[in-house]
Amino acid sequence: MNWIFKSVSVGAMMGSLAAPLYRAQNPTIGVVLDVDSAHVSNRLLASGTSLYSADVVKTESQGHVQLRVRQTRLQLAGQSEAAFFPGANGAVTELRQGTMVVALNTASESFEVFVSDVRIIPKNERPVLAEVTMKAPCDFQIKVMHGYLEAAVAKETKTLDQGHTYDVAPEFYINDTRNPAISPDAPEYHPGHQHNTCGPVAKSGGQPRFPRKKRFAEVVVTAAIGVGTILVLREALESPRQTLADS
């Protein structure tokens, strides 16, 4: 049994050494503002915890986490997963599963949200408040509460208007499980993930929704996001100048 104990001890020691090395190599990009049942790798998150570039954050089924990356506020609902990075103009996020709310009220910054093969950025208007839900690998939904977004799927780009919900059916979906993650903006991102075709129609729960050629299907918003989320992120929109140093 001694060799088992020694192996476990060595593994624990290597893990404790790897964490500071990882943090030294990856810059601090944000901070956890509020959290319940969420973690990075095997490390539980707490309010005030620093967020590092390439962190993959996961929430449990009843959990949530609200983050600030530069001046962008982001909130993951339960059973969601996303990776976070610094970009040239602001936050870069890769939503891998679940639902994320994003808010920004700073004209000097932007953000990028990648949902598989879809890239979402804000247009010039501020504030911006939106919810992105990944229902299935080939079935996304984008709700725009404030401002205007721009979404690109393959060679198609569409402006997403305030007060509308858009169903998105990409031609391909990306399967990327690397952890620590690699930014979708990085050249080394593309050789390391798999592209899979969505088939002739996008599917949700095995049921066809609309033809692949009609990649964006627009419907009027009929339901609001949870009141708690809206209130928290509305407050964020009213205080855009908070920085990491203020935390």
User: Ranked by mean pLDDT, which of 141-145, 182-186, 194-198, 202-206 comes out on top?
Assistant: 141-145
Band the pLDDT of 231: cuts 50, 70, 90. Answer: very low
Q: Are 93 and 100 in contact (CB under 8 A)?
A: yes
Supply the CATH number for residue 220's domain.
2.60.120.1440
Q: Tens of pLDDT along 48-84?
A: 999 999 999 999 999 999 999 999 999 999 999 999 9
Q: Which residue range forms the structural domain that includes residue 166? A: 28-246
Q: Are 173 and 162 in contact (CB under 8 A)?
A: no
Question: For residue 88, is it within any domain?
Answer: yes
Q: Which helix (H) or strand (E) holds 149?
A: strand 149-153
Question: For residue 9, is it within any domain?
Answer: no
pLDDT of the residue at 235: 57
pLDDT of the residue at 44: 95
Question: For residue 5, is it within any domain?
Answer: no
Band the pLDDT of 242: cuts 50, 70, 90. Answer: very low
Question: For residue 4, is it within any domain?
Answer: no
How many domains are there within the chain?
1
Instruction: Spell out where the chain has E strands.
Output: 28-40, 43-44, 50-52, 56-69, 72-76, 81-86, 90-104, 110-115, 118-122, 128-136, 139-146, 149-153, 156-160, 164-168, 172-175, 194-197, 201-204, 207-211, 216-220
Q: Tens of pLDDT along 192-228?
A: 666 788 865 444 444 334 333 446 777 654 444 443 4
Question: For residue 16, is it within any domain?
Answer: no
- List the one residue out of 196, 144, 192 whose CA is nearest residue 170: 196
Question: For residue 12, is it within any domain?
Answer: no
Task: Record the tokens describing residue 203, joined without a space.
Answer: 């599917």
In the predicted model, what is the mean pLDDT of residues 93-118? 95
What mean pLDDT, rounded, does the chain reach? Answer: 78
- List the one residue out of 76, 50, 181, 205 whose CA is nearest residue 133: 76
What is the distance between the alpha carbons of residues 215 and 140, in angstroms, rounded to a whole number? 10
Question: For residue 164, is it within any domain?
Answer: yes
Question: For residue 21, is it within any domain?
Answer: no
